[in-house]
Amino acid sequence: MITPSFHNAVVTGACGGLGQALARALIDRGARVALVGLQRPALETLASLAPGRCAIYQPDVSDSLAMQAMAADWMGRFGTPDLVIANAGVAGGFDTAQAGDLAVMRRMLEINLLGVATTFQPFLEPMRTSARRGALVGVASVAGWRGMPGNGAYCASKAGLIAYLQSLRAELRPTALRVHTVSPGYLRTALTAGNRFAMPGLLEPGEAARRLLAGVAAGTEHIVLPRRIGWLARALGLLPARLHDRILLGQPRKPRAGEPGATEIPGIRKP
């Protein structure tokens, strides 16, 4: 296994299962880590592991001005990062027939898609002009590979993110920066706790973080966690569309906002 050697990292969504695991792994390896999230107690627990190497930030990741202020403060105190992981994300079921769900879709796009661009933007030029190699990591999802019934907002946000990361990767080819797309399947986190359907290949956050960082260190541009869920998704994708849809329609739907098992989506603006 290749041991990651990142010295200065920014992790958004550091309160969640994967984000916490990533932050812990980086802290354990001696990196300085900007902990970005909304739940201060969770961030304080992480920061206590290395008080002199961590800072806590609580911006809305879709707020470009707040993210620019966070980046300026971090770089003023700790320097330019060599690793930025845009991990913040939300999930939830979606029904186009329900007017209230349009606010859910808007917010999901703001966090899952726009939030990655607002995370990268203030660091991009400083990292590009740095003498060191650097990595920009966007956490997408296997759900972005194909739309699934009852999950249109989440699938759309992750599909858009995959396309955005492809564009950014092409733009940065001539530079020392590398763009990595991470497509997890099912991780044992709060985002999947309310799922009522089978979750093949369910992976623990700590193991997912280890594989993610090893993949980035190895230069892998497309990281699927775990690999076998990617093989399963691709195999299903070979089926005729009608048969594929029939299989998915037979599965329980992901809980919508307000239903039992649904995860909170912060900042939803009701119509």
Report which residue type is found at 28: D
Q: How many helical (H) and strand (E) elements, i.e. helices and strands, does the chain have?
A: 9, 7
Q: Whole domain around residue 211: which residue ranges?
A: 8-249
**How remote is the C-alpha of 259 from its chain's centroid?**
24
Q: Is residue 2 part of a domain?
A: no
Q: Is residue 266 part of a domain?
A: no
Are 111 and 36 in contact by the 8 Å Cβ rule? The answer is no
Q: Any idea what the CATH number is for the domain that residue 14 is in?
A: 3.40.50.720
Give the tens place of pLDDT for each residue, 211-266: 999 999 999 999 999 876 766 677 677 778 888 788 777 777 778 888 887 788 88
The answer on pLDDT for 10 being more than 90 is yes
- Counted residue by residue, the chain has a size of 271
Q: Is residue 264 part of a domain?
A: no
Q: Is residue 46 part of a domain?
A: yes
Report the distance separating Cα 93 and Cα 244, nearest Å.
19
What's the average model confidence in pLDDT over 187-197? 59
- In Å, what is the CA distance from 191 to each residue of 5, 58, 139? 29, 20, 14
The number of domains in the chain is 1
Q: Is residue 116 part of a domain?
A: yes
Q: Residue 2: what pLDDT?
A: 40
Which of 57, 154, 164, 186 is catalytic? The answer is 154
Q: Is residue 209 part of a domain?
A: yes
Active-site residue flag, 154? yes
Report the distance separating Cα 153 and Cα 144, nearest Å.
10
Whole-model pTM: value is: 0.90
Q: Is residue 25 part of a domain?
A: yes
Q: Residue 198: what pLDDT?
A: 53
Give the tens place of pLDDT for each residue, 82-115: 999 999 999 989 999 999 999 999 999 999 999 9
Report the distance separating Cα 241 and Cα 135, nearest Å.
36
* Alpha helices per DSSP H over the chain: 17-28, 40-47, 64-78, 101-109, 115-129, 152-171, 205-217, 227-237, 241-249
Q: Is residue 260 part of a domain?
A: no
